[in-house]
Each structure stands twice: as structure tokens, then as C-alpha cells.
Amino acid sequence: MFRLILLLTLIPVASGNSEGANTGACANLTPRHGSFSAQTSTSPWGIFVGGPSYTPGQPFSVTVQSTGSQQYKGLLLQARPVGTIAPVGTWTTNVADTQQMTCSNANDGITHSNNFLKPLTSTFIWLPPSTSVGSVQFHATFVESYSTFWVDVVSSVVTAGTTACSSNPCQNEGMCLTSSDGYTCTCVSGYTGVNCETSSTGSFCDSNPNPCQNNGVCVNTGNYYTCQCQSGFMGQTCDQGNTPTPCDSAPCQNGGVCMNVGTTSFVCSCPSTYTGTQCQTPISTSASCSPNPCSNGGVCSLSGNSYKCDCSLGTIGNNCETLVSSGCISNSCGTFGTCQTLSTGGYFCVCSNGYSGDTCNEPPTTYCGVGTCQQNAPCSLSGSYYQCDCPTGYTGQNCELTQSACSDSPCLNGAACNVVSSNAYSCTCTPGYGGLNCGEASNTYCLVFSPCSSTLQQCTLSGNWYRCV
């Protein structure tokens, strides 16, 4: 059996990730759209806040609005304390085709749920943390198409309002919670009172014999206590198990990556210049495949002044010395690979971003190798990656996809695209739209949608849109 290594490449779609922003964009807010760069012109969309200040723990409205008639498809929206990049607070949304996303904490961002055109005006609700995080700004990225996007559009600065808990009146590590009539303090054990100011016992360990579980030792600290836990336990009262894993002691040397195998064993994925069960043995610069250093049927080949082993299925390690019959284990394929378990036992790694090797730990030397671009398409480097110039009729990162007339999603406003021939299509428009690509508001738009909220206003068509007069 031979090791199966697949190169997983990123295949761009017409308008970026159709199911929401990639978490890799959480910090710099930049979509991973190949070699395309953010627009430097003024964004056609702005962020408008619900007031000059927010109250900790209270909902705050944030509106995204077009400055003209352009509609976006992709969105990433966060709240950040001024001068930082970590998002804070949580979001809710009732806006169609949008959803919550998680970057640092649950639901701390808003993104799109598909690549439909979004409304010209959308309002989202941001819930700040219960304690003040100082002044904040709202940051957003808008995607119009795969090649056209605006990064880090910001709102005006919103200052933090004051609450009854702003000065933290709770003493002795008590937790302050705002309420409709002020605040309440949740006291830790051993304290009581409105502000947790009163000790409920003089010596906690004496009046409450050993509150520490699992043979933990109780130690008085003023009017409170701490627990000195036995090995294998943790927590304030030693109530949480802390079973060590084989990798906790960092057994892999010389940059080796440790992977736990069950609860009693480990495997080291070694750099190309070291070998051994703990990556402790340098590989000789005068490497040789005779005698064969690869175990368990591994195939040896020279690589510069070193050698590498192509391992058979179910074995891993620099010399294929470790048997893994149960399939994928923790971190089997490293950072740049996805592990696939085989029904016959063992596994193989699907590598990405140009990485290779049995555990995807060998970085790429060049992206434009023989056969990188299919259909004999020219390959060229673009920044730190590569780009294929696909011939007519093909698309995809490596020109591996047959292109149809609907590949570029020409139909607008939620219309369905129907392939007529290899180079022709038709659009089935949603109610209220017409034209070749359903980009024009039809004469029935006002009757179908009744967009004017006031009964005193009349809906009339204006170009490809409508207005209320």
C-alpha cells in the first residue's frame, strides 16, 4: 500500500465565502480572496450608531446603511475597544441572510449566511459586557464581489456610560450585578452584607472543617481560605479532575510536535533533520537509503543531504516507526492537513496551502510545480501564493472545474440561474424584478412589496429602484 497525499487548495467563489466570513479574518478583517486587495476608495456603506454612549449590559443598536444604491453580499461586523483588535460583547440579528459568528467569544460578530444581495439598510443589536470596556468603535468589512471589497470601515467613537457597578461597590471579591433599582452583590463564601463587607466567620477552615475535596488541604487566608490540591485535582475546592496527558511533559525535542495517543502514550512528529521516538537523533548530512532506514515497509528517497520516508498506511513518524491502526488521532496531520480515517485501518492526510509529507509538515518550496495548473494553463506566482490563467471554459484555483454560463452568478436579487448551453443562460426573477439579469425593478415592485411605510406616501419607480413620495 502506498501513502495517499492529496493537495487541498482553496477554490474561490464569485463573492467569497457564501456561508459567512472565515474565522481567519477575525483579526485583520481581510477576506482571503487570493491576490485581490481591498479597495482604497471611500466605502459605499457606512456604520451608524444608536447614540454617543452605551450602557454596560444594555442593548445598543448599530445600523449598516448604503450611502447610495449599492448592495453588498458579504459582511463582517465587530465591536472593539478603541485601540484594540479583540471583539467584545455579543450580537443578535433579525436581518435576513445574516447570522452571528464567533471569533474570540461566542457570538461576538455578525456575518452573512449566503451571497445574496443584502438590504440597503440593516440594524443589528449589540449587547455590551456587563462591566465597562471603555470607548468602543464598530468595525466592518463589506464584500461586493470576489475581487471588490472594503476592509475595516469604522463608526464614530461610542463612549461608555456609567452604571451602579461602574465603581464596583462590592468588597472582598464580590461580583456586582446591575438591576432595575441599582445593583446587587453576589458574595463569595465567608462574606455577607449588602456590599459583602461583613465576614461570616472568623476562621473559615476552623468553623467549616476542610471544605476542600479529594483530600485537599484547607489553608486560612485572613477571613477566607484556599485549597492546596492533591496531584490530579484542581479548582477552588479541588473538585475538578486534572488528569495529565503524555504530552504535558513536552517529551518531543528539537522542535518536534507531540500528539497524544490515548491517555498513556504519545507520538512525535519530527522536523526533517531529526529522527527518533523523541526527535532526539540528528539525521546524518551524508544520508543514505542503504540500508533502508524506513520501518514498516516505508519507501526511502534522498532529499538533498537528507532522506525521507514515504510511509505505508497505518504508520507515521520520520522513519515510519510508529503503527497507528486505529486511524486518526489528535493532531495527526498537523496545522496544514486534515486527517481521513480509512475503513481498512490507518489514515491519510489531505494537505493544504502547498504543504506535503505524511503529516503535512513539509512546507512548500514553490507553488508552480509540474501539473499545478490543469488544462495546461500557465502558472505564475502572486505574492506568497500562485495563480492559474485558465483557458476558456474552465475555472477554479487549478482550472479543475468546468465553467458553465451560471458560474459567475449573473442573476441578481435572488434570481435562479438556468443553464441554456455552455455559453448561454436565463434568469428566473423573484417577484418585483425583471430584465436580463433581474437587476431592474419591475412595474409591479411597488404593488408586490409596498415598501413605503406611511399611508400618505406613494411608491413610484425611479430608474432601477423605487422611491416614496
Mean pLDDT of the 406-419 span: 84
Judged against a pLDDT cut of 60, whether residue 4 lies above it is answered with no
Name the least confident of 134-138, 241-245, 452-456. Answer: 452-456
Cell of 276: 527518533
pLDDT in tens, 168-177: 788 878 887 7
Cell of 58: 444594555
Q: Cα Rg for the chain, rounded, in angstroms?
A: 30
Name the least confident of 58-67, 91-100, 452-461. Answer: 452-461
Residue 115's pLDDT is what? Answer: 87
Distance CA 135, CA 83 (A): 9
Mean pLDDT of the 231-248 span: 78
Query: Within 13 Å of residue 393, how many CA atoms lie on the same side as its CB?
Result: 4
pLDDT in tens, 163-201: 777 677 888 788 877 766 677 888 877 677 788 776 665
Judged against a pLDDT cut of 50, whether residue 2 lies above it is answered with no
Residue 1's pLDDT is what? Answer: 35
pTM comes to: 0.38
Are the beta carbons of 364 and 358 closer than 8 angstroms? Answer: no
Are the beta carbons of 437 and 412 closer than 8 angstroms? Answer: yes
Q: In three state form, how does the secondary structure of the chain look?
A: CCCCCEEECCCCCECECCCCCCHHHCCCCCCCCCCCCCCCCCCCEEEEECCCEECCCCCEEEEEEECCCCCCCEEEEEEEECCCCCCCCEEECCCCCEEEECCCCCCCEEEECCCCCCCCEEEEEEECCCCCCCCEEEEEEEEEECCEEEEEEECCCEEECCCCCCCCCCCCCCEEEEECCEEEEECCCCEECCCCCEECCCCHHHHCCCCCCCCCEEEEECCEEEEECCCCEECCCCCEECCCCHHHHCCCCCCCEEEEECCCEEEEECCCCEECCCCCEECCCCCCCCCCCCCCCCEEEEECCEEEEECCCCEECCCCCEECCCCCCCCCCCCCEEEEECCCCCEEEEEECCCECCCCCECCCCCCCCCCCCCCCCEEEECCEEEECCCCCEECCCCCEECCCCCCCCCCCCCEEEEEECCEEEEECCCCEECCCCCEECCCHHHHHCCCCCCCCCEEEECCEEEEC
pLDDT in tens, 274-293: 778 888 887 665 566 778 88
Distance CA 25, CA 13 (A): 16
Structural domains of the chain in order of their starting residue, each with its CATH number = 23-160 (2.60.40.4060), 175-241 (2.10.25.10), 247-352 (2.10.25.10), 416-468 (no CATH)
